[in-house]
Structure 1
Amino acid sequence: MAAEIAEVRPPVRMPRRHLGGGRLLDHLMVALLGLVTLVALAAPLLAPADPVGTSGELYAGIGSSDHLLGTDGIGRDLLSRTLLGLRTSWLMALAVVALGLLVGGVVGLLAGAFGGWLDAVLMRVTDLFLALPGTLVAVAVAAALGSGLGNTFLAISVVWWPYYARIVRGEVRSLAARPHVEAARMAGVGTPRIILRHLLPGVVPSAVITASLDVGSVVLVLASLSFLGLGQSAPAPELGADTSRALPELLTHWWIPVIPGITVMLLSLIANLGGDAVRNIMARRGH
């Protein structure tokens, strides 16, 4: 009886003030994403010192007069290194997601729009990549190519595009079965025009939402590779590598490994919350 009552009970509607607060929070989170991107772009200008240069003050604590976040064991300014490491992690994460979305989107769009043997071939290649353990493949590619920013970017990009291909292909197949697309096809409209006018606009929202939710994951993967020594070579600032190199000093000078580690956590958190906000905003616009 209780189950039957629950089934016929009308849905609870959220008060308008709560909805408005949710909209405001979502827009604030999207603005925070933009702010982090601006900080990453302006990091060389915001850094108070040379991130690889040394000063005479070793192991300066947080809040010291000349070094807001202190210095490491050879006198490098941690605020400057953190800003430049943030720049590397954030911009590379955006680049990996953008490239994955471009490659996977094109593959999924072609497979879903044309179907037939092209769909079968492209999806089997996609399934092959999806069957591989992504993180392990990225580690193997980075280790084989050697350390370096470009090699790390390539290693992550190789395993990131198949997810978008599957999502876009599914959306295209769903859109292709709708009446307006069938009517356009029966009217003699060519496949390229159908893709541009009817399929691509319908795919963009889902693709953008998926990409926005992936940025935080890429930040963590990048930090993991650099933590293992597969990122930029020393003394270039990188959050994962700086955490790894300073781990022996965790009990004596805790701020040196903790600050870059906390920065990675905050970047991932901001990216995930921002991705949720983008999804909420686009869902409201869709309705």
Structure 2
Amino acid sequence: MSTSIASTDLATEPVTGRLGRFGRWQVAATRWVNWVIVGVLVALTLVALLAPVIAPYDPVQPVGAPYLPVGSSGHLLGTDNIGRDLFSRVILGVRTSWLMALVVVAVGLLIGGVVGVVAGAFGGWVDAILMRITDMFLALPAAIVAIAVAAALGPGLRNTFLAITVVWWPYYARIIRGEIRALAARPHVEAARMAGAGRLRIMAKHLLPGVYPTALVTASLDIGAVVLTLASLSFLGLGQSAPAPELGADTSRGMNELLAHWWIPVMPGLAVMVLSLVANLAGDAVRTLMAGRR
């Protein structure tokens, strides 16, 4: 699920001086495009936060005739089988999926980060115990575990969050532990240790600052995967109960209308695709921008 930083990422700064005029323009254009993509990510987060204000209608109440097509007067994306406004439902579904994905990634990164930092910094039996626990979670098929946890706890937003978080944190623990171990072997950390710096001081001043770029890029690349996982669980009926607007559930419930009224399942499905695409493009942009700063 998680994606580590490739060691051969673009490093624009050192080579800029050796590029011609066209090459420098290309580097500048790439950097500008990456910042635009990150801006789209921020804008999407604002849209999710302001969704109740942006949505023109109550997403759970019928507000028009059933089966109004896309572009109907007052209903940008049409209406569903009972006359609910699809644009309002999609916007509120985007809010649920996007904000939940951010929370899952943040909590998974926090749990996995603490486990990885402690294991990497202390080593020895502490490292062995924490990594064996992590390996136990990694050995389980993540999708099946998430489905099993969500099914056991019952449908609902909180239970879906718990189901995904349970299988997400071990990847961060492994990645961050590897980064900590690599940093701990560097000369400046050895010098600090020989100078008498305590373990907590070394961790705070020399290890954590070197880990955050990897953690940030890995988390940004994971948001799209979490969106797809949330949509999948919702599609299987393990998300919020009807009539709450949720992209995966709305796609699933509208599949029977696909041939006659295609917009009912297609519009929430397209929203999932757009969220995942923006998240993955933003993750690549963050990776490139972070590599360019090194």
What range is the shorter-chain TM-score in? Answer: over 0.9
**Alignment partner, residue 80 of structure 1:** 88
**Alignment partner, residue 5 of structure 2:** none
Distance 2:34 2:198 in 1: 40
Match of 1:40 among 48, 57, 69: 48
TM-score normalised per structure 2: 0.92
Query: After the TM superposition, which parts of structure 1 deviate over 4 Å for at least 4 consecutive aligned residues?
Result: 11-14
What displacement does 1:57 show?
Answer: 1.2
Does structure 1 conserve the Cα–Cα contact (< 8 Å) formed by 2:64 and 2:84?
no
Aligned residues: 276
Distance 1:138 1:241 in 2: 17
**Alignment partner, residue 18 of structure 1:** 26
Distance 1:104 1:202 in 2: 16
Q: Which runs of 5 or more residues in structure 1 are unaligned?
A: 1-10
Distance 2:291 2:39 in 1: 18
Provide, for residues 44-94 of structure 1, a one-character-per-residue CA deviation record: whole Å limited to 9, x for no partner.
000000000112411111111111110001010000000000000000000
Does structure 1 conserve the Cα–Cα contact (< 8 Å) formed by 2:134 and 2:170?
yes
Equivalent runs, 1:128-277 vs 2, <5 Å:
128-277=136-285
Q: CA RMSD in A?
A: 1.1
TM-score normalised per structure 1: 0.95
Secondary structure of the 1:143 match is helix
**Alignment partner, residue 3 of structure 1:** none
With a CA cutoff of 8 Å and minimum separation of 6, indicate the structure with the bigger relative contact order.
Answer: 2
What displacement does 1:29 show?
Answer: 0.3
Does structure 1 conserve the Cα–Cα contact (< 8 Å) formed by 2:64 and 2:79?
no
Amino-acid identity (%): 69
Match of 2:63 among 33, 55, 65: 55
Distance 2:117 2:81 in 1: 52
Match of 2:75 among 67, 80, 92: 67
Secondary structure of the 1:15 match is helix
> What is the identity, as a one-letter code, of the residue corresponding to 1:57?
A
**Alignment partner, residue 280 of structure 1:** 288
Q: Which runs of 5 or more residues in structure 2 are unaligned?
A: 1-14
> What is the identity, as a one-letter code, of the residue corresponding to 1:255?
W
